[in-house]
Chain A
Amino acid sequence: MSLQALQERIREAAARRRALRVRGGGTKDFYGNAAEGDVLDTRGYAGVVSYEPTELVLTARCGTPLRELEQVLAERGQCLAFEPPHFGEGATFGGCLGAGLSGPRRAFAGAARDFVLGAKVLDGRGRALAFGGQVMKNVAGYDVSRLLVGSLGTLGVIAEASVKVLPRPPEEATLQLELDLPEALERMNVWAGQPLPLSGTAWHEGRLFVRLSGSASALQSARRRIGGAALEGDAARRLWCDIREHAHPFFAGAQPLWRLALPSTAAPLALEGAQLVEWCGALRWLRSDAPPEHIRAAAARAGGHATLFRASRKDVEAFAPLDAAKLRLHRALKAVFDPEGVLNPGRMYRAF
C-alpha cells in the first residue's frame, strides 16, 4: 500500500465528510470511546524505513507489526525503552504511538512520547506533513510529533515515525517482598529517590515486585539494599509480560477496569475494588463497579485522573473531562488538523 493511497482515502472522506476509523491490528479497539466510521486499515503501509543502531534511531511505517520491529531491535541488542504493551498479536507501530501507552519501565525510562523524535503525519485533509526528524535534539518548529502521540488518531494518521531506541539492559533481576500498600508506596518512592537501577514495580494483594535492570555489579548492590526474595528468571519475565499485556489474573473478567494516573506519593484511595499498582504508585489499576463520577472525583482529589480503560458498557466517556480552557484548545487543535472532523471522531472525547 502506498502513502498516496492512504492520502487518497482521507481526501475522499474529507470531501464527503464521512468518518474514518483509523485502525492497525485492532488490538486496542477497546481503548477510548467507541469508534465509528469506515475502517482505514493502516497495516498495508508497513516496513522499517531505516535503522542505524549506532545512531540509536529507528524509522518505521505505521503498519509495521510491533513484534517485528522489536525483533529487529533485539537482533542488535536494542529495545523500545518505554516497553509498550501490545494487547494482542497484531499490534502495529502506528497503533502503539496513537494510543501512546507505555509499560512497566515508563516510570524510570520515560513514556512513549519521550522517545518520539519525528513523524510523518497525514492530516484530515490528506496532506502529508513532516515534523521533527531523525536526530536526538531538534527544536525547530512546535513539537507536533509528540502532540500526536496518544491522540488516538483524532488529529492525524501517524504514517511514519522515528523513535529513539536504547541498548537492552545487560542483566535483570526481580525481587519479591511482602508489604501492605501504604508501606509499599513509601518504599517505592524512597527507592526511586536513590541511585538504584529500578526498571519496574508492581504491587498486588500484599506482594510487591521490584525489577532491576543494569550491569551485574549494580544489580548486586541494589539487591542487598532492597532485600526480599529473588524470583527465578523465567517466572520473572512472565510476570512482567503478564502485567504489561494484562494477562495477569487481576485483569481477567468483565468488571470495569479503570486506569488511575496519580502523583506517585498519593495515599491509597478509599475506593471499592481490587487494585494493582505500578510505576512506584503513579499508575493504579482498579477493578470496580463504583459509579464513574465517584472514581473520577477521587482521582482528581488525589491530583490525577481516571480513565475507563476497558469496560463492556460504552455509555461513559473513556477519559476524564477537560476544563473549559483546555476543551477550547482541544477543539481548536482538532479544527487545525482535521477541519472536516473525519479522523476517529468521538474516539477520545465524544464532543469532537
Chain B
Amino acid sequence: MGGAVPAHEIDLARQREVVRRLREFLPERAVLWQEEDTRPYECDGLTAYRSLPMVVALPESEAQVQRVLRACVELGVRVVPRGAGTGLSGGALPLGNGVLLSLAKFMRILRVDPKARLAVVQPGVRNAAISEAAAPFGLYYAPDPSSQIACSIGGNVSENSGGVHCLKYGLTVHNVVRVRGFTIDGEPLDLGAEAPEASGYDLLALAIGSEGMLMVVTEVTVKLLPTPQLARVVMASFDDVEKAGEAVAAIIAAGIIPAGLEMMDRAATHAAEAFAGAGYDLDAAAILLCESDGTPEEVHDEIARMKSVLEAAGATKLSVSRDEAERLRFWSGRKAAFPAVGRISPDYYCMDGTIPRKRLGEVLLFIGEMERKYGLRCPNVFHAGDGNLHPLILFDANDPDELRRTEQFAAEVLEKCIAVGGTITGEHGVGVEKIDQMCVQFGAAELETFLAVKRAFDPGGLLNPGKAVPTLVRCAEYGAMHVRGGALPHPELPRF
C-alpha cells in the first residue's frame, strides 16, 4: 500500500523536451504538464499510491497514439497507459519522469452488429455503455465489474475484469474476440478476429490481463449475448458461515450453474443494509444471493431446484424476488457493499484473492484470527460461485500504525490464499499493489518467463515497466523480510 513508490522530482528540462516533441503533432489541450492539470492523474482507484506524471498525453486518433509511442521510444521515456482510472491495483499509477497516455478521448462505439452479435468500440467506452448500446437489439455485454458505470472497456482488457456473473458467462478474456493497437514501438497489432480465432498463437489471451505492459489497445471487439428473458434471485439466510459455504457446493453438485452466486457475512450485510435498505436478514451469519436467468420456463424450474437445495443445506430463511424491482433491490446491497463499508470506516482496503470454494470456512476463520491479531475489523463479500473473496479491512489512514497493521493483515491473507491453492488476485490485477506477493505465488523460473515475455513485446522496457511482474532482485529483498518456516523463498538468488 502507501509509501512504496518513492517521491520523485520532475526533471524540468526533460519535461520541456517531451512536451515540445509531443506538441509537434498534438494540440495544446492534448498535452498536459502543469501541476494543476496533471494532479488528477496522480493515482487510479488505488489511492494509497500517488505519483505525479511528468506529462499527460491525450491523443484522440490511432495515428496520434502511434506517434506518441514512437516519440517516447525515441526519447527513451516510459509510458503508462490509462483508461478510466478506476483500477484497484495501481496499474495506471504514473512512473517518475514518464508520460501518462490517457485513452479517455477514445469514447466512440464504432459499430454494433446485432446479426453477428459483436460490438466494436474504442477503449475509453464505459463498460455499461456497451450494454446500453446493445439493449435495443436484445443483446448485452456480459462481464459486469461493480465499477461498470465508470470503468472503461480498455481497462477491463488490461485487467481481465470479472463481475458477479462470471461463473456462467466468463471473464473479459471469454468475451473479447479481438483487440487492435500498437506495441510500444508503434507497430500496429491486430490480435484475435471476428472469426472464432486468428491463426498462430493465442496472442489475444496473452494481451488480455497483461496490465498495459505488452501493448496499447486502441480498439476492442466484444461478444454480445442475448439478454435473458427473465432473471430472478433467491436470497437465503444461514446461521453459520460454513453452512453457507456448503450450500454453495451443494448448488454446484446439483448440476446448477447460477447466473450469479454471492455471499456476504454478517458485518457486510449490516453495512450494506444501513446504506442501501436492500431488505437483508440482519440476524443471519451469512446470506447467499443465488440468481437464475433464462426463459420463464427455465427460471421457474431452476428456482424451484435452487430452493430445495438451499433448504436441505440448512437455510434458515428463503425469499425469491417477485419482480424486477425486487431483484434489483436484493442486488443493490451487494453492489453497494464497498461504498457502504466506506461509510462505517474512515478508510477501507479491498482485497481480492481467489480460493478453492471448499477452503472458504478455513479462510474465513483465518481472517477472523487476523482481525483479533491486528485489532482491525474486516467484513467479507464473496463471489461464492467462483471462489473470489473480497475481504474489506477497515482502518484509518491518518493513523500510521493502523495503516501498517492493515498492510500486514492484507499480506497475510493473500499468502493464506496461495497456501490453500488459490491466487493473490482474482480480478483486480497485481499492479503495484500485490507485486511482492507475486514472489510468493511464483518461482524464479516463472517470473523470469514473464519478464522474457514482456521483453518479446517491449525490448526496451518502456511500456508500464515495473508493474505486475517483480524483478528477482525485488523478490530477494521482499523474501528477506518474509522468512517462512525457516526457508527463504528463491534461495538461488543472491541477497542484498
Contacts and interface: CB of A to CB of B under 8 A. Distances in A.
Contacts of B167: 136
B301 A140 contact: no
A333 B426 contact: no
Contact of B208 (A143, A144, A326, A337): A143
A75 to B, nearest CB: 13
Given A134-B356, A139-B159, A192-B117, A330 B387 contact: no
A170 to B, nearest CB: 7
A189 B297 contact: no
B298 interface: yes
A52 interface: yes
Interface in A172-192: 189-190, 192
A193 B226 contact: yes
Contact of A113 (B183, B199, B205): B205
A71 interface: no
B14 interface: no
Centre residue among B209, B210, B214, B423 by max chain A CB count within 10 A: B423
A53 interface: yes
B356 A333 contact: no
A331 to B, nearest CB: 9
B426 A336 contact: no
Contact of B354 (A137, A321, A335): A137
Contact of A139 (B206, B383, B429, B455): B429
B422 A141 contact: no
Given A138-B426, A195-B227, A218 B295 contact: yes
A264 interface: yes
Contact of A106 (B196, B202, B422): B196
Contact of B200 (A56, A114, A326): A326
B445 A113 contact: no
Interface string A249-288: 0000000000001111100000000000001001100000
Contact of A135 (B200, B250, B356): B356
B210 to A, nearest CB: 6
B210 A142 contact: yes
Nearest to B447: A141
B424 interface: yes
A336 B200 contact: no
B115 A193 contact: yes
Closest 4 CB pairs of A and B: A217-B297, A304-B195, A146-B205, A136-B386
16 contacts: A55-B252, A135-B421, A135-B426, A136-B166, A139-B425, A139-B426, A139-B427, A139-B428, A141-B450, A142-B469, A143-B205, A146-B173, A214-B294, A215-B298, A264-B116, A265-B113
